[in-house]
Amino acid sequence: MLIGKFVPINSIIHRLDARMKIVSLIFLLVAVISTSTVYGYAAIIMVLTVIIWLSKLSLFAVLSPIRRLWLFFIVIFFMNAFFFSSDNPLFSWWIISFSGEGIRQGIKVVFNVCVVMILGNVLTLSTSPIDMTNALSSLLTPLKLLRVPVEDVAMIINIAIQFVPTILEESNMIRKAQTARGAHFESRKLREKALSFLPLLIPIFISSFRRADELSLAMEARGYRNAKRRTKKAGVPFRVLDVTAVAACFVICIIQIYI
């Protein structure tokens, strides 16, 4: 399962308005960052479980970003555990300060990053590219007062998000092709492992630029010139379900801040 690829399923999360999903995501991110107690973490896990259950997405698809970046989380944990300043360190030498506070800080940071990645993945998995673009354009409308090209910015952000699964898929294919040609990506020596990734990075960059060029030609062939002149379908009014979802996320955010 590729990260960020839209999965069409008939679920409550999929039927929510994309604008309300983005606003709800912002409230939940604030709630996650504000969490500092065990009860707060338990509440966040419960909310996350309910969201995944309502989305009807497979647990494997939702947790795929964490599975791919497990080494990154280990590095984050040890960076906080060994370099977090504390008045009562268990072990201290030079700039290294190993302490219980550092361990707790490492667990907190890893937990927050994991939850943020899962929530963002649920958003992209449950929202079509067109709805995402229209939602971003609508939410960024106030920036027009500052002469910001809102439509172009929304299109750029959406294309960047949608290119992530495509690049991952191509990188896997290139990796398999290079492995068949004798490349060794599993070397235990750091220098050899870094050098082995050069035959992988260069084709990925070339493929990305080629796809960008093909996309620009396709957009021009379809008459895309200026986002401001594009016509849009009539806006869909907010439903009771959308307002309820935002209100629930707002209440969760307020409770987490005051807890």
- Are both 179 and 243 inside the same structural domain? no
- Percentage with pLDDT > 70 across the chain: 85
What Rg value do the Cα atoms of the chain yield, rounded? Answer: 22
- Are both 125 and 27 inside the same structural domain? yes
- Are both 115 and 186 inside the same structural domain? no
- Are both 42 and 25 inside the same structural domain? yes
In a domain, 230, yes or no: no
Q: How confident is the model at residue 153 (pLDDT cuts 50, 70, 90)?
A: confident
Q: What is the pTM of this model?
A: 0.74
Measured distance CA(231)–CA(244) in Å, rounded:
30
DSSP class per residue in 142-195: GGGGGT--HHHHHHHHHHHHHHHHHHHHHHHHHHHHHHHTT-----SSHHHHHH
In a domain, 63, yes or no: yes
Measured distance CA(225)–CA(203) in Å, rounded:
30
pLDDT over threshold 70, residue 234: no
In a domain, 233, yes or no: no
Please tell me the total count of domains within the chain: 2
- Say what angle helices 150-180 and 129-139 make with each other, to 10 degrees: 140
DSSP state of 228: G
pLDDT reported for residue 71: 80
pLDDT reported for residue 38: 85
Measured distance CA(114)–CA(48) in Å, rounded:
11
Q: How confident is the model at residue 51 (pLDDT cuts 50, 70, 90)?
A: very high
pLDDT reported for residue 23: 93
- Are both 133 and 165 inside the same structural domain? no
Contact of 165 with 211, CB cutoff 8 Å: no
Q: Tens digit of pLDDT for each residue in 162-184? A: 777 778 778 888 888 877 777 66
Measured distance CA(193)–CA(138) in Å, rounded:
45
Domain extent at residue 250: 12-142+238-258
pLDDT over threshold 60, residue 1: no
Measured distance CA(17)–CA(22) in Å, rounded:
9
- Are both 87 and 162 inside the same structural domain? no
Q: Tens digit of pLDDT for each residue in 101-145? A: 778 888 888 899 999 989 988 988 898 877 887 888 888 888 888
In a domain, 48, yes or no: yes
In a domain, 175, yes or no: yes
Quick one: tokens of 85?
A: 């300043």
pLDDT over threshold 70, residue 74: yes
- Are both 126 and 174 inside the same structural domain? no
Tell me the range of 33-42, 90-99, 165-174 where mean pLDDT is highest.
Answer: 33-42
Q: How many CA within 13 A on the CB side of residue 222?
A: 9
- Are both 36 and 117 inside the same structural domain? yes
pLDDT reported for residue 251: 92
- Are both 68 and 106 inside the same structural domain? yes
Query: In the chain, which residue ranges form alpha helices assigned H by DSSP?
Result: 12-15, 18-34, 38-55, 59-62, 64-68, 70-83, 100-125, 129-139, 150-180, 190-196, 198-221, 240-258
Q: Tens digit of pLDDT for each residue in 174-213? A: 888 877 777 666 666 666 666 677 777 788 888 888 888 8
